[in-house]
Amino acid sequence: MAAQIIDGKALSLIIQVYVRNKQKACEKAGFESWLHKLDANSTQADLLNLISKLNQDPKVHGILVQLPLPKHLNTDLILDAVTALKDVDGFGPENLGLLTSGRPRLLPCTPHGVLVMLQRYKIPVAGKHVVVLGRSTIVGKPMGLILLQNGIDATVTICHSKTSNLKEITRQADILVAAIGKPCFVTADMVKPGAVVIDVGINRLEDGKLVGDVDYEQVLPLCGAITPVPGGVGPMTITMLLHNTLLAAKLQQKS
């Protein structure tokens, strides 16, 4: 089972949908899940106490702290408090450190989902130039590390908001992964014809419509393959969360 902890008041609509979808996926897969909705005024100690209880609870195999947390809480400290074998988001220092040192264990769900999607669609990755837009700890950075692993063997470029000549770099990509949180940022002139485009972004426009970081309509005719938003990467993230929870349960049984 998995326990989700969220800041009950600061939930955006996207996050609410995401939390609900995770609960539904658990139900469907036969996992028990408990949602701990905390008040936005909860203190660091309140949250650390809850995490400590869940760390010790043998019925709980996975703990998710839904980000972003309110500003008065130290996100790093909170994530560090989740015991490494229950860190099913894979954001904690031990799991990220293992990935960095080439011994992947519980991988961050979104970039892992992207890898599995590429593999299931038999899209060659070894030796290909993958350009990742975004360097966050939850998507961009682990995406690069996962694709760099021996046996996966991509050549990776990670770009961020200070990258110069962005368009020149993205146009070199055989596979372009967009994870920046800017609606329709990637336009047709940024994509090499035939490239595979993975859109991680989820952005809500003023009219309520959900769009990705890629201008889907513009890019679709020229790319080799593209993931839609909604759909595409989002459901893969939840799938990999269930995968991690099962793996975490097995690892805890062995330990």
Ligand X SMILES: NC(=O)c1ccc[n+]([C@@H]2O[C@H](COP(=O)([O-])OP(=O)(O)OC[C@H]3O[C@@H](n4cnc5c(N)ncnc54)[C@H](OP(=O)(O)O)[C@@H]3O)[C@@H](O)[C@H]2O)c1
Among 177, 201, 227, 242, binds ligand X (CB under 6 A): 201
Residue among 200 and 248 whose Cβ is closer to ligand X: 200
* Nearby residues of 246 by Cβ (< 8 Å), 6 or more positions away: none
Residue among 60 and 184 whose Cβ is closer to ligand X: 184
DSSP-derived 3-state class of residue 157: strand
Active-site annotation holder among 4, 7, 66, 215: 66
Among 90, 92, 134, 142, binds ligand X (CB under 6 A): 134
Could you list the beta-strand ranges (E) of the chain.
Answer: 2-7, 33-38, 62-65, 129-133, 155-159, 175-178, 196-199, 203-204, 210-211, 225-226
Using CB under 6 A as the binding rule, whether residue 118 contacts ligand X is answered as: no
Residues in the chain, how many? 255
Among 75, 100, 203, 218, binds ligand X (CB under 6 A): 203
Contact pattern for ligand X over residues 154 through 183, marking x by CB under 6 A = -----xxxxx--x------------xxxx-
In angstroms, the Cα distances linking 231 to 17, 91, 121, 200 are: 13, 23, 15, 10
* Nearby residues of 236 by Cβ (< 8 Å), 6 or more positions away: 110, 113, 114, 116, 117
Active-site annotation holder among 22, 86, 141, 192: 22
Shortest distance in whole angstroms from residue 16 CB to ligand X: 13
- The DSSP call for residue 41 is T
Active site residues: 22, 66, 89
Site for ligand X, rule CB under 6 A: 110, 133-136, 138-140, 159-163, 166, 179-182, 200-203, 233-234, 237
